[in-house]
A and B are shown apart, each in its own frame.
Chain A
Amino acid sequence: MKKFLNLMATNRSFFLFIFLIAMFLVFSFVIPEFSTIYNILNMTKYGVEIGLLAFAETLIIISGGGGIDLSIGSILSLSAMVIGVLAGRLGMNIVLASILGLIAGGLCGAVNGFFVSFLRMPPLIVTLSTMYVYDSLALLIAVDKWGNPMPVSNFPYGYFFIGQQTYFNIPFQVIAIFIPLALILHFLLSKTTFGRYLFATGNSEVVARFSNVPVKKIKFSVYVIGGFLAGLAALIMTSRIASARPDLGAGLNLQAITIAVLGGTNIMGGEGSILGTLMAIVVITALYNGLQLAGISSIWQVGTLGIILIGSAIANIILSRKYSSVE
């Protein structure tokens, strides 16, 4: 028993796994349709977009020095509008428009990265400002010929396979985009020099610099990767809901940060894993789905997220005080 609690305290992924099983049991008892294969496979698609943003936050928070990206939801909005306006209003080829949307996301990330790493400005300030800027730009390019910011919904039919196609009930975006990306990012963090450098930078920037780690490049690149991931999430989301709106990403920034932190990413940097964040994404997606099936107002999704975030922080402190052998 002591060993079990010790593992709970020291290994966040294990903690979340136990939590997930408990939640599954409860939901399955209360809601019969929760544990059907169809429901489980179908709910996965709702975790993809917020999951990609949470991965982005994971990398950025690991990079340390107060690393955080408040603009991630706004990048999603802007990328979505870039795709929507280019393809829907200007009639550009949808593949080209999607690529430009991804590039727009990467560029937004690069702007953040530039200020954070090369000008050494605090990430919170940089991304708070760019959040305003990207939101504003998304609204501006959404303006139609009558002068009002409007959603774009006339995408070509072929575009919808990204967010709406399923294979044996498994959504396309889960098997073709999300799972491969999670594997790549996991590999990147745990098996490559880049990953080692990233953790070194997050643990102590000064030490990393003296050890010849290209700290600036590392920090710059996590913001760029974050921007691309947000662009990708925009692509999937606009395809899934068949519409691009300038407020698509509103509120997602804080949810993504919450999920990353819930997954064991240390807000001080230098600590975190893709596996942990992935577990947190699964927990949150299942939770949202369960609450919805139980008929609880969707407003409480975010509220429960808040309770779980604080609750897990407290549980972590209590568990690690009592059982952790690590001093």
Chain B
Amino acid sequence: MGLKRVIKSRELTVSLVMIGLVIFFSLSSKRFFTANNIRNILLQVSSIGVASIGMTMIIITGGIDVSAGSILGIVAVVLGKAAVGGFPAWLAIILGILVGLALGSVNASFVALLGIPPIIVTLGMMSLLRSLTYTFLGGRWIASLPESIRWMGLGKILNIPIPIWLTIILIAYFSYFMKYKSLGRYVYAVGNNIEATRIAGVNTKRVLFFVYALAGLLYGVAGAIVVGRTGIVQTNTGNNFELQVIAATVLGGTSILGGKGTVFGSLLGSLLIALLSNGLILLNVPALTEGLIIGILILGSVAIDVIKNRGEE
């Protein structure tokens, strides 16, 4: 039984695919399996990985959040403007993250308190926030960011970059949280049967609110990482970010129907996508085919999953 579950688990499938890819890319390109390149891949993973924690929880509750990229965009703008405007770096970063939390709470209020379907709320927020980003920036870039603000992206502790630390700590904590904390268990319960959970005495509105608000906070952290790493804030910062995060989450085995999924799986999903896009560049595959390959990969892996789990409903 235990072994069967491991074999059937998505984490294993994704891990095997990843090992296969690593071997393939290492054999095909001398530049792939180098410390420098691996660090690049991990840095690329960090922002998607951190955001995917929130997305995973949201999807487990049976929801979706397509406003992630727009929230990240606003966070980047606030952070950039604050830093250029003379705020100390730590304050600017905290401010940015708080803006993420606030916007997540707006989503949370509409979804949890008013009961509006998540796709509608976050679609609306996505459009609105994207327009706000354009307005705040007025079509210009913020490129002259002070070096101190880039700490979240470039800083190092024990020679390991901050984003990697953040990813490891957050993933580890929230894996624990989802498995052993009661609020974490409620997230699964809400996704499996919200009505039964409510009748069992759980405040389901509170659970939903928590999930969307926390996701906003994590997009804020991801935004600080992205700004730190790239050192630039553009109107299209965070464009399509939500799709990458959703792709990583789903690739990692979170069921879009809710009730099933793990934070760690989503990290593996993020890793797989980053690995693939990095490896393809090293192999000189035209960048235009990247979407093609990622799309087919998601389709294929979910199709296999669906076929494998037939008759278990």
**A binding-site residues for B, Cβ under 8 Å:** 66, 68, 115, 119-122, 124-126, 128-133, 135-137, 139-140, 143, 149, 254-255, 257-258, 261, 267-268, 297, 299-300, 302-307, 309-310, 313-314, 317
Any A CB within 8 A of the CB of B199:
no
Q: Are the CB atoms of B292 and A133 closer together than 8 Å?
A: yes
Cβ contact of B125, chosen from A126, A128, A300, A310, cutoff 8 A? A310
Contacts of A149 in B (CB 8 A): 288
Q: Are the CB atoms of B306 and A268 closer together than 8 Å?
A: no
Bound Cα distance from A119 to B302, whole angstroms:
10
- A-B CB contact pairs (8 Å), 27 listed: A66-B256, A115-B303, A122-B302, A125-B298, A129-B294, A129-B295, A129-B298, A130-B295, A132-B294, A133-B295, A133-B296, A135-B291, A136-B295, A139-B291, A140-B288, A140-B292, A254-B127, A258-B123, A261-B123, A267-B119, A267-B120, A268-B117, A306-B126, A310-B128, A313-B117, A313-B121, A317-B116
Starting from the known contacts A121-B299, A299-B135, 4 additional A-B residue pairs (CB-CB under 8 Å) come to A121-B302, A255-B127, A297-B135, A310-B125
Any A CB within 8 A of the CB of B88:
no
Interface positions, chain B 124-167, Cβ under 8 Å from A, are 124-132, 134-135
Q: Are the CB atoms of A122 and B256 closer together than 8 Å?
A: yes
Q: Are the CB atoms of B302 and A125 closer together than 8 Å?
A: yes
Any A CB within 8 A of the CB of B64:
yes
Cβ contact of A317, chosen from B115, B125, B135, B250, cutoff 8 A? B115
Q: Are the CB atoms of A317 and B124 closer together than 8 Å?
A: no
Known: A135-B291, A314-B114, A317-B114. A261 touches B247 (CB 8 A): no
Q: Are the CB atoms of A128 and B120 closer together than 8 Å?
A: no
Any A CB within 8 A of the CB of B246:
yes
Contacts of B129 in A (CB 8 A): 306
Contacts of A121 in B (CB 8 A): 299, 302-303, 306
Cβ contact of B292, chosen from A136, A303, A310, cutoff 8 A? A136
Q: How many B residues have CB within 8 A of the partner chain? A: 43
Interface secondary structure of A, over-half rule: helix
Q: Are the CB atoms of A261 and B120 closer together than 8 Å?
A: yes
Bound Cα distance from A125 to B257, whole angstroms:
11
Known: A136-B291, A307-B124, A310-B120. A129 touches B299 (CB 8 A): yes
Cβ contact of A309, chosen from B124, B288, B289, B291, cutoff 8 A? B124
Contacts of B294 in A (CB 8 A): 129, 132
Q: Are the CB atoms of A131 and B295 closer together than 8 Å?
A: yes
The distance from the CB of B235 to the nearest CB of chain A, in whole angstroms, is: 9
Q: Which of A137, A305, A310 has the most CB of B within 10 A?
A: A310
Q: Are the CB atoms of B291 and A310 closer together than 8 Å?
A: no
Chain B's closest residue to A70 (CB) is B243
The distance from the CB of A291 to the nearest CB of chain B, in whole angstroms, is: 11
The distance from the CB of B55 to the nearest CB of chain A, in whole angstroms, is: 13
Bound Cα distance from A199 to B124, whole angstroms:
26
Contacts of B306 in A (CB 8 A): 119-121
Bound Cα distance from A120 to B311, whole angstroms:
12
The distance from the CB of A319 to the nearest CB of chain B, in whole angstroms, is: 13
Bound Cα distance from A297 to B64, whole angstroms:
30
Q: Are the CB atoms of B257 and A122 closer together than 8 Å?
A: yes
Q: Are the CB atoms of B130 and A303 closer together than 8 Å?
A: yes
Bound Cα distance from A254 to B298, whole angstroms:
20
Q: Are the CB atoms of B123 and A254 closer together than 8 Å?
A: yes
